[in-house]
Amino acid sequence: MAARSIASLTVSFGLVSIPVKLFSATEASRAISFNLLHKACGSRLKQQYICIKEEVQVAREDMVKGYEFAKDQYVIFSPEELKALEEAGTHMAEITEFVPIDAVDPVYFDKAYYLGPDKGGAKPFALLASALRESKRCALGRWAARGKQYIVMIRPVEDGLVMQQLLYAGEVRSIKDLEIPKTEVKDAELKLAQQLIDQQTAPKFDPQAYKDELRGRIEAAIQKKVEGQEISVAETTPAGEGKVIDLMEALRASLEKSESARAQVNRLGPRKGPKRAEEPAKVARKASKRNA
């Protein structure tokens, strides 16, 4: 089924205007959701709003929005006042600068959209995509929609462009807020860790290699329920916490396990993948002796 665009806009690239179509890059509809039901009769429940002071149900037409500026003290805004504060939609994504693609930390990534050329935009669209791809840069700019202003990053992908909404600096916590102690890493430990990484390195990310096992279990359980079957609930054993491990021993065991799995795959037949690490067990033994 062909993708359906959700909006049209113009990407401003210097004095060049590129008409594009916007497509959602994700499918929220594929998420499994459950409804709240009345346990006694199985009927759907509806949400109600209760005044905590008078303990009465409040109709939607009697509701107003307020901002709590102090404990239990609010300033009230009318719908007209809130509407006046909204950002006017311009259907324009204005590029303001270009930066290296890896200069934007993925922690700032929010919702993603695919961009496709609209009528008359095929040539400038291809030009921008090629220029970004060749220069290994992305475009940063602003986009106003749905009453808000967004920072957007337009980056090239193999078949086109992705417009990624970015979070503002105030919406992202600094990792400096975490108290991460400085810890010495021994050379032997580092070499074993690097060897393990080399063994498990793939040429590129393949999303098809990862399956949503939780979704599969939920769908199977739903089907059983629909067919009138009972589902068994297995008792779970909590994982041990705070267990002290021998780091070198854990790394050596991981290397041996990875090597064994790779050898099994090789026996079943060759496949395209990362180059096999050379003599991991031998490297592990040498590193262990140096660390002793």
Q: 18, 27 in Cβ contact below 8 A?
A: no
25-76 pLDDT, tens digit each: 987 667 788 999 999 999 999 988 999 999 999 999 999 999 999 998 999 9
- Note the pLDDT of residue 132: 95
The mean pLDDT value of the chain amounts to 84
For residue 215, the model assigns a pLDDT of 86
Residues 6+ apart with CB under 8 A from 38: 44, 45
Distance between CA atoms of 167 and 150, rounded to whole angstroms?
8
**Alpha carbon distances (Å) from 286 to 15, 75, 193, 271, 281:** 62, 69, 14, 30, 9
Q: Give the DSSP H or E segment for 147.
A: none
With cut-offs at 50, 70 and 90, classify the pLDDT of residue 21.
Answer: very high
* DSSP count for the chain of H helices, then E strands: 6, 9
Per-residue pLDDT tens over the stretch 79-113: 888 888 877 767 889 999 999 999 999 999 999 99
pLDDT at position 29 is 62
Tell me the C-alpha distance between 66 and 69, whole Å.
9
* 154 pLDDT higher than 90: yes
Whole-angstrom Cα distance, residue 274 to residue 202?
Answer: 5
Pairing of strands 109-117, 148-157: unpaired
Integer Cα distance of 109 and 253 in angstroms: 36
pLDDT at 242 over 70: no
Give the residue with greater pLDDT, 9 vs 284: 9
Give me the pLDDT at residue 239, please.
54
Q: Enter the CATH code of domain 7-26+86-171.
A: 2.40.290.10
According to DSSP, the residues that pair with 12 across neighbouring strands are 17, 94
pTM to 2 decimals? 0.70
289 C-beta neighbours (distance < 10 Å), count: 9
Please list, residue by residue across 230-264, b when 16 or more beta carbons sit within 10 angstroms of its beta carbon and e when fewer do: eeeeeeeeeeeeeeeeeebeebbebbeebbeebee
Are 156 and 129 spatial neighbours (Cβ–Cβ below 8 Å)?
yes
